[in-house]
Amino acid sequence: MKNFIDLHLHLDGSLPYTTVKKLMEVHNFSNLTDSQLKEKLSVSERCADLQEYLTKFDFPLLFLQTKKDLETATFDLLQKLRSQGLVYTEIRFAPQLHTQKDLTQEDAIKACILGLKKFYNWQNNHEDNFYPLHANLILCLMRLPDREKENYLTVKLAAKYAKEHVVGIDLAGPEGPIPNKKFKPFFDDAKEMHIPFTIHAGEAAGPESMQEALDLGTKRIGHGIRCLESEQLVQELINQHITLECCATSNLNTKVFKKIDSYPIKTLLSRKIKATLNCDNMTVSNTNLPKEFKLLETKTNLTNLDEHQLLLNSINAAFASNQEKSRLLHIFNQI
């Protein structure tokens, strides 16, 4: 079994099917056939773009609105990831999307932390040959209109729960209509409060969007796969040691690339750009991390050496403690 690290994984887009069925039953949702459920949760090959991709979050969010829902979702997802050989992950979610019923953003965060702690308890009492999976949480701000109040609160809560597995913030949502630079005040606050951050950019929009993310001071970019459209940007990524959280199948789904064969992961590595490989959304994209690596091995000739570099880049860029990074280095030096 190989060991993996995922730095870019959304909770609501990565729920195991068994968890979805369990939560639907709890909330008395009418039964759906497996194929109807798949249509609601996952994109087909006909997915047109990021806008259509994002519609697949509507359904799971309907039953991620109580403390128990979020605790269950976090616990189940971590169990699933462990079974796939992951040894470290940063799971992200937007607390403000879980306040449609009675929860506050803080309730939502506490529920996910509880799910994570319960997973650790379960893992401690579970004997097998796997390395333990360690996990942290990233809170997403939403790139949507009129969310100032909610986004400010998310930043404040990230600071409040920094010692309880909340390791950073992110900016998620449709890329393009609202430019990243509009979110400067939030990231200025984050910098002041020493909250690490990453920003979704260079996915639906091109190098300008990534440049704006860099101007906000980010050291990690979610996707960033369109950087190769600008040589000047490539140089900046190299000089500033920026890490790209690449997600191959997701980029294929949103039509950034037509074929996985042309996914430029090897070009990024050969240009010494700090690329990492991640899932984005296991359920929406019908994927998992072992599958992503396999896919790129088959379609782009990704070698063992390339994979080692991708994982090393992940360790270096993780929003984890030095102690955790040493543990990961130790695991990967055993390969």
Residues 242 to 301 in contact with Zn ion, rule: CB under 5 A: 280
Beta-carbon contacts of 285 under 8 Å, excluding residues fewer than 6 positions away, are 13, 42, 43, 247, 249, 250, 253, 279
Phi, psi of 210 (to 5 degrees): -70, -40
Q: What is the DSSP string of 145-190?
A: TT-HHHHHHHHHHHHHTTTTTEEEEEEES-SSSS-GGGGHHHHHHH
* Shortest reach from residue 36's CB to Zn ion, in Å: 25
Least spacing, CB of residue 10 vs Zn ion, in Å:
6
Instruction: Give the CA distances from residue 82 to residues 51, 155, 221, in Å, rounded to whole numbers and listed in that order.
Output: 31, 29, 25
Comparison of 78 and 246: residue with beta carbon closer to Zn ion: 246
Which residue bears the tokens 């700090």? 274
Judged by CB under 5 A, the number of residues near Zn ion is: 1
Tell me how far, at minimum, the Cβ of 13 lies from Zn ion, in Å: 8
Cα torsion 311, 285, 21, 7 to 10°: value is: 30
Residue 174 or 264 having the CB closest to Zn ion: 174
Closest CB 318 distance from Zn ion, rounded Å? 16
Under rule CB under 5 A, residue 12 binds Zn ion: no
Contact 178, 201 (CB under 8 A): no
Quick one: 280 or 307, whose CB is closer to Zn ion?
280
Task: Between 13 and 115, name the residue whose CB sits nearer to Zn ion.
Answer: 13
Tell me how far, at minimum, the Cβ of 200 lies from Zn ion, in Å: 6
Separation of alpha carbons 2 and 335, rounded Å? 8
- Give 196 or 327: the residue with its C-beta nearer to Zn ion: 196
The percent of the chain in helix, strand and coil, each rounded to the nearest 5, is 50, 15, 35
For the annotated catalytic residues, the residue numbers are 203
Contact positions toward Zn ion, by CB under 5 A? 280
